[in-house]
Structure 1
Amino acid sequence: MEYVVTFHTQNGAFKFQRFLLGKQIEVKLMPTPRKLSSSCGIAASFEYEGEIQGFIIEEVDGVYLKEGIEYKVIYKD
């Protein structure tokens, strides 16, 4: 499954990237899709098949499951 995560700050996006890389999960930082709102304009995209509740760290604004061109809200701060 592909997820897109938004953040409160740019620093939060970089911290989340390091967090996932530390778990050996490939992550890509990108501009926040227009359909999603974010305070900082940076989002992270990654694929993962397991439970992601442990990935919701303090810096996360929202977590969305990407389904084609649509986004399903998984978590919103």
Structure 2
Amino acid sequence: MTAYMAIFFTHSGAIKFDRNAKRKNISCELMPVPRKLSSNCGIGAKFFYDGNFEDLIDEEIEKIFKINEQEHILVYEED
């Protein structure tokens, strides 16, 4: 499974994402966002997914990072 960190514009967006992920049986955990990744809402979702992560994107997501060992690689950013 590939690990990702989704960053949100609002806390409610993070909670909504967590609920939707769990409904789809996607392992997801809400956690504080490292300051180097975002200074917006402060809460993110670490999730594990092998499908196309773009299927999970909604208007609440600011960025998605792929977690590669201890490195975060930006793979999506809202325009």
Smaller-chain TM-score bracket = over 0.9
Q: Is 1:52 the counterpart of 2:50 in the alignment?
A: no
Structure 1 runs of 4+ off > 3 angstroms?
none
In the aligned structure 2, how far is the partner of 1:57 from the partner of 1:65?
A: 17
Provide structure 1 residue ranges, at least 5 long, that are not aligned to the other structure. Answer: none
Question: Which amino acid is the alignment partner of residue 51 of structure 1?
Answer: N
- In the superposition, the TM-score normalised over structure 2's length comes to 0.91
Structure 1 residue 35 displacement after superposition: 2.3
Aligned length: 77
Structure 1 residue 51 displacement after superposition: 0.9
Question: Which amino acid is the alignment partner of residue 61 of structure 2?
Answer: V
- In the superposition, the TM-score normalised over structure 1's length comes to 0.94
In the aligned structure 2, how far is the partner of 1:19 from the partner of 1:8?
A: 17
Give aligned-pair identity as a percent: 40
The residue aligned with 2:4 is 3
The residue aligned with 1:16 is 17
Structure 1 residue 38 displacement after superposition: 4.1
The residue aligned with 2:32 is 31
Provide structure 2 residue ranges, at least 5 long, that are not aligned to the other structure. Answer: none
Structure 1 residue 34 displacement after superposition: 2.5
